[in-house]
Structure 1
Amino acid sequence: MQAGLERQSGQNYGRWVSSPNWVRSALAAPVVQDPGTRMQYSTASTHLVAAILTRVTGRPLLDVARDWLGPVPGFRITGWDRDPQGIYLGGNQMAMCTRSLLAFGAMYAQEGQAGGRQVVPRAWIDQSWQRRTASIFSGQGYGYGWFLGQMGGRDVRYGWGYGGQMIYVFPATRRQPAMAIAMTSDPDLPSGRTGHRDQLHRLADRIAAAV
């Protein structure tokens, strides 16, 4: 989210996904700031990561994701939109039920372990939770796809999807075990400017405090 390219989310999203080649369109966007500086939240940035993974592995990204995350009990991707070139969309439109989101969050909460295996390297989780920039939405820290904040008097890392699809991960402390919370909402309605996201945050905060 610090590529420096004009963001292809918000008011630019529709134009971007209407282009004949999403990768080329993302790379052709004007440079609006120095790379590595201020956050520019852009779905195109994560889609470029998807395109890179597709090229490097030589396989459809859905197959790769199912292989990598297959050992996670209860996790399942039932559908995923693709761009005109057949690359799975790296930013959104991945169909999962609430239980699948929770299974993914629980795996992160357990330092990458699930089903008796180390599914995601602990080092990667640590890197993804390091503050890389500040969120343009809240001013909170932002790592690799995770917003960094506090809820219920403890640290939280959360993923926020359009409409209010949420994963909250609370790392373990000396006094409290690790915990994950998942919430799903109407995928066709915005959650930021409507206040719905903030309502979900307050609910997660109360749950964390109660636990």
Structure 2
Amino acid sequence: MAITITRRATLALGAAAAAVTLARPSLVRAAAPFEQPPLPYEQNALEPQISARTVGLHYGKHHKGYFDKLNQLVPGTPYADMSLEEVVAASKRNGDDKIFNQAGQAWNHNIYWEQFTGGPAKATGAFAEAIERDFGGEDKMFEAFRKEADGLFGSGWVWLVMDGDKLALKSYQNAGNPLPDGLKPLVGIDLWEHAYYLDYENRKAEHIAAVLKDRVNWQAAGERMT
């Protein structure tokens, strides 16, 4: 079936392109075939919060699988000539769930692995001030993350985003992310069980707290904000 890129989708692509400026150059991918970026560190680098076994399964099987399936689906479609970020936005707007699920998860995990590089590190400068202004401090932001995650039924993601000139938390089921909404993602927490079950079993809240406090490079997240 032919795919029509509507004016609304075109606007969404523009918003997605703007949001992508937050990403480091290694995360901006060319058009298909899409390539999974190399893991930015050794598989044991995130221990003890995230084990090497979990990283091996999460990155080597799940993340890789999204890229593999996406590259099977896009040939012969208009998406084959788009960047990964454009595919995420356009497929969401067009209701192409099969494409969006794979593209969304591929892109989500690019950000997920990158946000741990050089971490943990504290927020500084304008970003630290924004956290204080919009959440009442780092600890209250972490608690807000937990509550947002508790409110999400099933698998999905919680994202810290720039919504206009304010920080906000947005939760999305399954492969969802802020790109189609024109928001700037800063940090994403994976709530799929493959992200934590080997290490924490059903203790999802414990995993979230450990990752937020002891793994994320908040200083780098602040650089994305600007």
**TM-score, length-scaled by structure 1:** 0.29
Higher RCO (Cα < 8 Å, 6 or more apart): 2
More helix by share: 2
More strand by share: 1
